[in-house]
Structure 1
Amino acid sequence: MLERFFVKPQTIDRIMDCWLGPQIDEYVTALCDRGYAPRSIYRRVPVLMKFAAFTAAHNVDQIEQAEVLIEPFIDDCLFTRRADRSAEACRRDPNFVGGVVQHFFNQVVSKSDNTSRRTAWPIPFATQVPGFFDYLREERGLRASSIHHYRHYLRGFERYLRDVGCEVTTLSLPVVTGSSRRRLSTSGLDQ
């Protein structure tokens, strides 16, 4: 499966020659079966290669022993990359690196089939304004991606209305602007 993502035979050989090579190939196959985008797969393999090198440097060649080195690996990755990275990239890196390695262990080592433990977000204003999103899609012609973004912001607005004790049917301009002010103040853009 690696040959679908890496053109050079040397790259595939290098991946398969590392001690986690067969497991990385199995992981790539599992990601393909789940419909992951090629770019996502392409970004994950180098992280796993670095993890394999890190564990080999710590004299670990058993998959069961390698899992305890995830946190030290994340710290090592961040320490070596911090000098040439922006603050925002340094903040995101532990989530990405740790997420990739943990996902690898869940998919390949544990053979865990659960993709997410999250429950679906409720549809905002579903009881107050039933059929609103169907109206946007069918009557107004909005795309699914636009409706998805609307839901994100309307959840926050619904939460604000609940906090201030206001119903949708009694909306006024001060309530709407208050919601905007709160969102701006929490994002730091109000200055």
Structure 2
Amino acid sequence: MLEHHFRSLKAIDRVRAQWLGPQIERYVQSLDELHTSNATVRQHIRALGHFNDFVIARGVTKLEALPDHVDAFVEYWHAGHAGWCKNNQDRAAVTAQSRVPVERMLCLALPDYTRPNNRPAMPFANTVPGFLPFLNDEKGLRQESQQRYLYTLRPFEAYLNRGGIALSGLEPAHISRFLEERAKTLHKAGMRDTAGALRIFLRYLHREGIVATDLVRSVPRGRIYRQASIPRAIGWQDVERLLASIDRRSILGKRDYAILTLLASYGLRAREIAALCLDDFDWTHAQISIPMCHLSPYRSQHFSAFRSH
């Protein structure tokens, strides 16, 4: 099954030569049966390869001992890959990149192994249990959209718990202080989404009689204006001057030129370029497969027709 995901025979041989190679290949077969995307499969293979090296370095020789090292591997992975995280959602995505493939592989390799329930509790599950069904049944929101509400309600619940504030005693001042606290870590678009989710939640609380006063008006409506921020792109003439300034006669110069070309031509993120491997380049069909570890937790784009300079 590895032949479906790697064009290089050397890459396939490297996976199979690992101590966990048979278990990894069996796991890949299970992903193929679920019609998992090629990008996701390859990301899982890479994570499992790191797990293989991690447990070997710790002297593990039996499959039965692997579950005892999962949490340590997740911490190790998080320490090396969480530098770009800006919020809890990013950190959760990084954690999932390491934990999910390892635990799923162990379910196949060890018959007695069961994945632990690491999902955080739903916010306000005890006090407002009907809010998520309301989003699903009445508003008809997809699960991805519901997650944005949870991203707002979890810190809101934590804020209320820290202050010992009950929902029945909620006041406009509490909401203002919560939004001021969130504004320290969120950008304008994040604050807009937070305010929108909070208004829906407060309206639901008032409708259900959990709060006596409709507090929706206490949530300000932030506005984001087009072209209000500094432009993020530079002119192509400046890009060409920058590329022309690189001495491509040296190995480092060639590397820098390739990195800047990918940044300028395709708008790749730095971590996407750093994650590229030779197997991601299909020279025959002039395509690049771009993996990105963010939120989904894995997205893939394919760029064709390499731009030459």
| Range of TM-score over shorter length | 0.5 to 0.7
1:7-18 alignment to 2 at 5 Å?
A: 7-18=7-18
Task: Indicate how the Cα distance of structure 1 residues 20 and 67 shifts in structure 2: closer, same or farther if over 3 A, else same.
Answer: same
Q: Does 1:163 align with 2:163?
A: no
8 A contact 1:107–1:113 mirrored in 2: no
Q: Which residue of 1 aligns with 2:83?
A: 86
Q: Looking at secondary structure, tell me which structure has more strand per residue.
A: 2
Cα distance in 2 for residues equivalent to 1:64 and 1:5? 28
What's the offset of the Cα at 1:183?
A: 4.4
Cα distance in 2 for residues equivalent to 1:24 and 1:69? 17
How many residues get paired?
171
Secondary structure in 2 aligned to 1:165? helix
Q: Which residue of 2 aligns with 1:26?
A: 26
1:31-180 alignment to 2 at 5 Å?
A: 31-34=31-34, 36-71=36-71, 73-74=73-74, 81=80, 86=83, 88=85, 92=91, 93=94, 96-110=97-111, 121=122, 126=130, 134-137=137-140, 144=142, 148-149=146-147, 151-152=149-150, 163-165=166-168, 175=172, 178-179=174-175
- In structure 1, the gaps of 5 or more residues are 138-142, 168-173
Cα distance in 2 for residues equivalent to 1:106 and 1:98? 12
Q: Which residue of 1 aligns with 2:233?
A: none
Task: Indicate how the Cα distance of structure 1 residues 131 and 15 shifts in structure 2: closer, same or farther if over 3 A, else same.
Answer: closer
What's the offset of the Cα at 1:15?
A: 0.8
Q: Which residue of 2 aligns with 1:171?
A: none
Cα distance in 2 for residues equivalent to 1:155 and 1:73? 30
Q: Looking at secondary structure, tell me which structure has more helix per residue.
A: 1
What's the offset of the Cα at 1:73?
A: 4.4
Task: Indicate how the Cα distance of structure 1 residues 39 and 112 shifts in structure 2: closer, same or farther if over 3 A, else same.
Answer: farther
Cα distance in 2 for residues equivalent to 1:119 and 1:86? 22
Q: Which residue of 2 aligns with 1:4?
A: 4
Q: Normalising by structure 1, report the TM-score.
A: 0.57
- In structure 2, the gaps of 5 or more residues are 187-309
| CA-atom RMSD in angstroms | 4.6
Task: Indicate how the Cα distance of structure 1 residues 59 and 116 shifts in structure 2: closer, same or farther if over 3 A, else same.
Answer: closer
Q: Normalising by structure 2, report the TM-score.
A: 0.40
Q: Percent identity?
A: 19
Cα distance in 1 for residues equivalent to 2:155 and 2:40? 33
**In structure 2, what residue type is equivalent to 1:88?**
C
